[in-house]
Amino acid sequence: MITHRLGRFCYSPMGTFGRLNLGEFTLYTVERPWLDNRPSISCIPEGTYRCEPRRYNRGGYDTVEVLGVPGRSHILFHRGNTMHDVEGCIALGNRLGSLGGLWAVLESREALEAFLGLYGDFPFQLEIFQQGGAQWDSSIS
């Protein structure tokens, strides 16, 4: 089974940002800040997880679900730009920027389509890790 690596490089009050390496290209990610893995409001813990294709019923499109996160379920890769667009999930973008004064991933629809076109039809492993000296900021609340 193929393994993709998500290196988180920024933990901030504006979100948790990372790079998802997919062989020949890289996508950027945004999640909620770390809040002790609490459902719907925290990014997920570092670790290795199985991912499988799934339908995002609320969004009305196919996506990929991250499975095996302790105490959590329904964690999806989906469209979104800022941490406010995800409830414990992972939004994908082609580049970094800002929207309305918030740090963001941009071109999310295109990024998700590219991701699903390559990896949306079969299971894979996702390894999430801290990259380049990034640290948890325990003062975020």
Tell me the average pLDDT across 65-75.
96
Each residue's pLDDT tens digit, 4-63: 999 999 999 999 999 999 888 899 999 999 999 999 999 999 999 999 999 887 778 899
| pLDDT tens readout for residues 77-132 | 999 999 999 999 999 999 999 999 999 999 999 999 999 999 989 999 999 999 87
Q: Is 114 helix (H, G, I), strand (E, B) or coil?
A: helix
What is the pTM assigned to this prediction?
Answer: 0.90
What is the per-residue pLDDT for 133? 60
For the chain, give every domain's residue range: 3-130
What's CA 106's distance to the chain center, in Å?
Answer: 13
- Report DSSP state, residue 109: H
